[in-house]
Chain A
Amino acid sequence: DTEVTQTPKHLVMGMTNKKSLKCEQHMGHRAMYWYKQKAKKPPELMFVYSYEKLSINESVPSRFSPECPNSSLLNLHLHALQPEDSALYLCASSQDPSAVWEQYFGPGTRLTVT
């Protein structure tokens, strides 16, 4: 199984809502990542988890809160988002942090903030 799954596929939320994005992999990978991708732009790294611990936060606003409950799951909790946060949110995993260059990406969650 070389798949990273993400739910939901699409999400529309108001600026006062609280929602969560979910990512799951069963490849035994010990590094997981969140990216944000705006239309016609490359993915931008947001967070890196290494062995279930947050190792990188690329100065992401606190309205985005990541969580790694176990080695297979990664969540991104959203609160009080702004319309400019609308984007494709991608999750990825790699065998371990040193294998960062070969990441497996999920299909993404298309987020619209109204």
Chain B
Amino acid sequence: LAKTTQPISMDSYEGQEVNITCSHNNIATNDYITWYQQFPSQGPRFIIQGYKTKVTNEVASLFIPADRKSSTLSLPRVSLSDTAVYYCLVGDEVNFNKFYFGSGTKLNVKP
């Protein structure tokens, strides 16, 4: 299992771009990188998934360098409503029983 390491918390201001980095040094060849967002007292919500290079959707971008030992979730122009915990997960569909959330990063967006 690829262990993930994220910063415990980050602060930002409205309108800024936020980049949250996740380290996964022992990522396996078949592993994908997935990010979830969780607001207080709600279930997590799938944000984005990628394997290599860059993935972008309407919510975020995911940057993965060539060695895949880390990944960066980029949130453009954050607002107060982006205050949440962001989890990075690494694994493949074969080992679905190993769907473990890491400790997550608490993002605080200030006005």
Contact = CB atoms under 8 A, between A and B. Distances in A.
A108 interface: yes
Given A43-B101, A45-B100, A98-B96, A103 B46 contact: yes
B93 A99 contact: yes
Nearest to A56: B97
A81 interface: no
B97 to A, nearest CB: 5
Interface residues of A, number: 27
Interface in B87-109: 87, 89, 91, 93-94, 96-97, 99-104
A114 interface: no
B107 to A, nearest CB: 14
B46 to A, nearest CB: 5
Interface of B: 32, 34, 41-46, 49, 87, 89, 91, 93-94, 96-97, 99-104
Interface of A: 4, 31, 33, 42-45, 48, 55-56, 88, 90-92, 97-108, 110
25 contacts: A4-B43, A33-B99, A42-B102, A42-B103, A43-B101, A45-B97, A45-B99, A55-B97, A56-B97, A88-B41, A98-B94, A100-B93, A100-B96, A100-B99, A101-B34, A101-B46, A101-B89, A101-B91, A102-B46, A102-B49, A103-B99, A104-B46, A107-B41, A108-B41, A108-B42
Given A98-B94, A101-B34, 9 more contacts: A4-B43, A33-B99, A42-B104, A55-B97, A98-B93, A101-B32, A101-B91, A108-B42, A110-B41
